[in-house]
Amino acid sequence: MKKLTSIFAIAVLLGLAACSEAWLEIEPRGTELETNFYQNEEQVFQGLVAIYDVLQWGGSNGDWTMKTGLLNTASDDCYAGGSDASDQPSWVAWDQFNLDPFLGPQQGLWIKNYSGIYRANLLLEKIDQTEGIDEAFLNRVSAEAKFLRAYFYFDLIRFFRNVPLITGPLGADDLYTQEQANPEDVYAFVVQDLEDAIGTFELPDQVGAAEAGRVTTGAAKALLGKVLLYRGDNASLSEAATLFQEVINSGFYDLEPNFGDIFTKDKEFGIESVFEISYSAEQRGGWENFVNGTEGNYNVQFFGIRDYVGPDFSPGWGFCPVTEDLEAFMQGDPRYEHTIIDVDAIPGASYSEGYQHTGFFIRKYAPIEAEKAPDGEPALNWSNNIREIRFADVLLMAAEALVRSGGDQTLAQDYLNRVRDRVGLGPVTATGQALLDAIYTERRMELATEGHRFFDLVRTGRAQQVLADEGFVAGKHEVLPIPQTEIDITNGTLEQNPNY
């Protein structure tokens, strides 16, 4: 079987990508084709690939809606950037918390995640109707589909909190009547999907190079632990700690010895990768298929330095300039040079200053000249994978869950210090709140600019304190507004989030 990134394009053969102005109107192109599909393993697998395909999307709704970049913008790690304040108004709106039901990235994020859920629901329904296909194969596909559905719902509940819970394909009469569910019911559904995936014997502990990017048991346990950590009650925290420890003790993952290697092409799907989102330059896409039509990682072009001329890097568009706060915070940390580019320190380099220019740029997903796609539009075809969950993140989440649940603080120190020792930092011996604060500090250092910071601040109740100067208002900006187009198309069945 080919690597998943090389066959994402077959999703269009299923006709599953068609959508209009709202997620409720997503319908397959060619009902007869969809009805007669899923008759053999190849067709079922194509349906699974179509769900994985949505993970890559960065151009939903004809806009730039890349999860990593947008979450960096919403946090205190980065500003919005770009050429000027009008370059990407939705990015600036989240950066400055000037969001409203019409302005912000919410429409694209809504469409993306419900598209993934639609595809997962459809495949799971079809699997139940198949005959004559190997049961072990179907069990594994089902487990992966449930993992992905849980992943999309977890993003939705973090982005919006109040969302409809749709568990199967909808009939025409039901399209515009879906009410928002109790968030706890959505959490329960996500937990059940992930528990189902973990309990599937055919879901592998490891995959070979030919299947790189497919879900493993470790990825499912790590995501479930993360869901429970975000949920935050004591029982969930204790269970989360147990799940993280199972991943840590599995023997399938470890820290890369050299922190600087993690985000190189050579270390994609490396020992530290628990769950990784694949990208590829093989589609050779151009502007004609920008809307989720290439397999490239658009974040990379966004993060590059505007009009850059100099060694190593390819020019980009100057989004997500690193804040002065993060740059100062990381001064003296061994991870600084692998996290932040100080463009003025590059000998002989020239560039143009963009909006909210600081002189500091993201290094982890920076566009490297030697990695530029040889065909198609280079800006749309960067092949850098997103390290969605890596082992260092699991260690730090495990440490946090242990402390917050009243668990073994010595073990929590050990997990924290493994991350610190990798970069030559001394051990932390604190306990109680001081240990928890040290874990939060380490998370910001270790995971800076990877898109975790905003949700970390929200789930730990620190967002108001940290982001107040950026315009954050408690009780409002923890979530995005519900897209007004979705409220309108349902004639008010969907209700707007508070204070928008």
The pLDDT tens digits of the residues spanning 182-211 come to 999 999 999 999 999 999 999 999 999 999
What is the reported pLDDT for 31? 46
Share of the chain above pLDDT 90, in %: 87
What is the reported pLDDT for 293? 87
Query: How far is it, in rounded angstroms, from Cα 202 to Cα 181?
Result: 32
- Tokens, residue 187: 């959490």
Comparing C-alpha atoms, which of 424, 425, 400 is closest to residue 411? 400
What is the reported pLDDT for 166? 97
Residues forming beta bridges with residue 368, ordered by sequence position: 313
Share of the chain above pLDDT 70, in %: 93
Q: For the whole model, what pTM was predicted? A: 0.93
State mean pLDDT over 3-23.
33
State mean pLDDT over 6-22.
33
Query: How far is it, in rounded angstroms, from Cα 91 to Cα 72?
Result: 10
Locate tokens 């990407």: which residue?
88
State mean pLDDT over 215-225.
98
What is the reported pLDDT for 30? 45
Domains annotated on the chain, with CATH: 1-65+105-186+461-500 (1.25.40.890), 395-460 (1.25.40.900)
State mean pLDDT over 454-459.
98
What is the reported pLDDT for 26? 37
pLDDT band at 59 (very low <50, low <70, confident <90, very high): very high
Other C-beta atoms closer than 10 Å to the C-beta of 462 total 12
What is the reported pLDDT for 124? 97
pLDDT surpasses 70 at 263:
yes
Backbone angles phi, psi at 167, to 5 degrees: -110, 5
